[in-house]
């Protein structure tokens, strides 16, 4: 909402110094700062309101240390994160940008699904919450919207330059270029670090290629969203991991939106993608601000209101920046947590059918509960998972220089 004002002051009024307000770095910094202020300053008021409404967590008895103390802890704290993302984004980002619009839709949509789930659990006293099929339908719907927009929207392009950009005596000389409407993505170790979905699936025909692309987008959003949801099992784990991932994506967004850096690092130059830095800054600020109250011992839980949204937003950011094939590494914590549940359930069913009794791979799934069962304090588990998350983010960023 402020972006048109910044543009007017700079271009129309031509007031000296006002151009700084349009800089990505300035707006990103302001978005992160405002996000922190919203979540930390107003967090107490939101938690007090949640307590007043008696929105407390119902904890299942899993036989884990310290579990009983969590009973009654306010939940639906994901509302704090959503506010910390949406308000700064609306104020400092260009809301006419197609990528920003998609991310705002994803934030509200998946946050709404999570809110309904938490509402049913808390107010209807139904521990199962929203039926799984309705969650899947909601995720599929947002996946169709995102996939169709990224594939068909004319503003979603990759800019290709005829010659390398040169810098002579501090002056950037931009060669001729063309904006190409193509379904390319980043993948290390292949030629030019890229994979063209249309070439890969071209034998199926253009129409079928678009359908498969949208189905792939649905899978990515659903998998990462559910992975974040499963990871949200101990204090600070999902929020901290999401902040680390968000920071790495912000770096990708800045590079992808800068013609010089993107060409030097052999990354797609995606016009208008630099605006995603502002969204990422608000996203990271909201996660860090939420950690102020969610770090052990947690004063509030994000609930599905926050966790479903966090994973979905990370997926859409990666898709917009054409980095979705790097998600298994970047979101390794979410993936491992998800796989631990799948492996546990599958192995239990297999052994029960074969031997008459179910056997387990882990003491408990998801994986963080396995370590809790080994009597490792949850604060130490979270810290170690964060360290792994940082290492995975560094490895992902290192792929920038693989040619």
What lies within 8 Å, CB to CB, of 372 at 6+ separation is 64, 65, 234, 364, 378, 381
Comparing CA positions, the residue from 310, 282, 269 lying closest to residue 27 is: 282
Dihedral sign from CA coordinates of 20, 22, 23, 25: positive
- Select from 114, 129, 86 the least CA-distant residue to 312: 114
Please state the φ and ψ torsions of residue 196, each to the nearest 5 degrees.
Answer: -100, 115
Q: Which two tokens stand for residue 304?
A: 């599905």
> 332: which 2 tokens?
């390794």
Considering only CA atoms, give the Rg of the chain: 22
Residues in the annotated binding site: 229, 304
For residue 347, count other CB atoms closer than 10 A to its CB. 15
Binding site feature residues for Mg(2+): 229, 304
Residue 368: DSSP 8-state: H
Separation between Cα atoms, residue 291 and residue 40, nearest integer Å: 9
Closest CA to 184 of 95, 267, 280, 292: 267
Alpha carbons 286 and 87: distance in angstroms, whole number: 11
Outline where DSSP puts E strands in 49-139: none
**DSSP assignment letter at 361:** S
Number of H helices, E strands in the chain: 16, 6
Distance CA 36, CA 285 (A): 5
Phi, psi of 215 (to 5 degrees): -60, -40
Cβ pair 382, 388 in contact under 8 A: no
- The pair of structure tokens assigned to 327 is 């998600």
Could you please report the per-residue DSSP string of 71-118? TT-B--THHHHHHHHHHHHHHHS-TTSHHHHHHHHHHHHHHHHHHHHH
């Amino acid at each position: 909402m402020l972006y048109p004002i910044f543009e007017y002051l700079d271009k129309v009024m031509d007031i000296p110094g006002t151009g700084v307000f349009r800089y990505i770095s300035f707006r990103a910094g302001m978005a992160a700062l405002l996000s922190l202020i919203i979540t930390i300053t107003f967090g107490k008021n939101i938690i007090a309101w949640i307590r007043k409404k008696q929105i407390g967590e119902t904890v299942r008895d899993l036989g884990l240390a310290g579990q009983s103390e969590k009973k009654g802890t306010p939940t639906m704290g994901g509302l704090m994160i959503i506010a910390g993302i949406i308000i700064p984004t609306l104020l400092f980002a260009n809301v006419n940008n197609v990528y920003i619009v998609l991310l705002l839709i994803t934030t509200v949509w998946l946050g709404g699904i999570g809110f309904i789930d938490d509402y049913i659990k808390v107010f209807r006293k139904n521990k199962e919450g929203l039926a799984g099929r309705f969650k899947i339908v909601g995720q599929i719907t947002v996946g169709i919207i995102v996939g169709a927009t990224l594939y068909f929207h004319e503003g979603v392009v990759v800019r290709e330059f005829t010659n390398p950009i040169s810098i002579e005596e501090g002056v950037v000389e931009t060669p001729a270029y063309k904006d190409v409407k193509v379904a390319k993505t980043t993948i290390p170790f292949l030629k030019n670090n890229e994979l063209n979905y249309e070439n890969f699936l071209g034998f199926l025909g253009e129409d079928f290629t678009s359908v498969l692309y949208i189905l792939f987008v649905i899978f990515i959003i659903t998998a990462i969203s559910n992975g974040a949801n499963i990871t949200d099992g101990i204090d600070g784990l999902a929020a901290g991991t999401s902040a680390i991932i968000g920071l790495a994506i912000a770096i990708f967004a800045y590079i992808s939106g800068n013609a010089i850096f993107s060409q030097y690092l052999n990354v797609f130059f995606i016009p208008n993608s630099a605006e995603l830095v502002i969204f990422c800054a608000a996203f990271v600020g909201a996660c860090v601000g939420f950690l102020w109250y969610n770090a052990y011992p947690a004063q509030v839980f994000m609930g599905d209101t926050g966790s479903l949204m966090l994973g979905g937003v990370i997926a859409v950011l990666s898709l917009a920046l054409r980095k979705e094939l790097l998600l298994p590494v970047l979101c390794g914590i979410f993936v491992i947590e998800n796989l631990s549940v799948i492996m546990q359930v599958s192995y239990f069913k297999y052994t029960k059918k074969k031997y008459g009794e179910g056997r387990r791979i882990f003491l408990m799934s998801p994986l963080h509960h396995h370590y809790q069962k080994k009597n490792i304090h949850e604060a130490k588990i979270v810290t170690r998972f964060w360290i792994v998350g940082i290492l995975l983010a560094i490895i992902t960023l290192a792929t920038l220089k693989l040619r």
